[in-house]
Amino acid sequence: MDNGEHEKNQTGKGDEQETRERILNAARQLMAQKGYKGATTRKISELAGVNEVTIFRHFKNKERILIELLEEMTEIRPALEKAIHACGHDVKSMLMHYGETYYNALVERKEVLIISLIESQNHPEVFNLLSRMPQIADEMLSEKLQEMHEAGLLPEGDFRTAAHMFVSAFFHSFLARHWVKVDCDIDMPTMTESSADILLRGIGSQ
């Protein structure tokens, strides 16, 4: 009932884990497609290939599935920080790396992100988690640009708006490609390089 997994799993068939994850996978997929309410426990069980009651043997109730899913959406900060520190003093390659990392992070969290976007109105905790994501991405890039400016790599500029523009472009691409599935005419590598170029010239260097 409370947290019944002991050391059985290591030796045992491991089915308990497997089943649990099959349920989570099914729920993730369905909730992203149909929303929380649209993903009925019946549909989830069918897609997971388990009996409906099995769901309630693993999760107290339906909401717990949602919560568990949302916990997957960990912070992006570490990934972005790594991207920033990876490259040295070349502004353009930093930008490209940052954009790519942000985009990939979004794609990796795709389903859960979409669920959050849809369900954020009803679940305030989700709401906070979600709203901080783009803000963080903006801020971190903005600070990095400021820092590079102070290091003499960039002239003065409105780095907040610049960062916002840059980050937005990738977020928008993500939405277009993975939610409202438009067949985009620009491929990602081109878009990454081009937008880095434009921003770079826009904020004044080279």
The binding site for DNA (CB under 7 A) comprises 4-5, 8, 11-13, 15-16, 18-20, 37, 39-42, 49-54, 56-58, 61-63
Q: Which of 8, 60, 82, 201 binds a copy of itself (CB under 8 A)?
A: 201
Distances (CA, A) of 116 to 9, 39, 45, 108, 111: 31, 14, 22, 14, 9
Asked whether position 206 contacts a copy of itself by CB under 8 A, the answer is no
Residue 21 CB, nearest approach to DNA (Å): 10
d(CA 133, CA 61): 28
Q: Which stretch binds a copy of itself (CB under 8 A): 19-27, 51-59, 69-77, 174-182?
A: 174-182
- Look at residue 177 and give its three-state secondary structure: helix
Nearest to 52 by CA among 78, 8, 19, 12: 19
**Separation between Cα atoms, residue 206 and residue 117, nearest integer Å:** 39
From the list DNA, a copy of itself, none, pick the one residue 108 interacts with, judged by a Cβ distance below 5 to 8 Å according to partner type: none
Which of a copy of itself, DNA, none does 160 bind, CB closer than 5 to 8 A by kind? a copy of itself
176 binds, among DNA, a copy of itself, none (CB under 5 to 8 A by kind): a copy of itself
Q: Which amino acid is at 186?
A: I
Supply angle C-alpha 116, 118, 121, rounded to 5.
85
Of 8-16, 47-55, 72-80, 170-178, the window that binds a copy of itself (rule: CB under 8 A) is 170-178
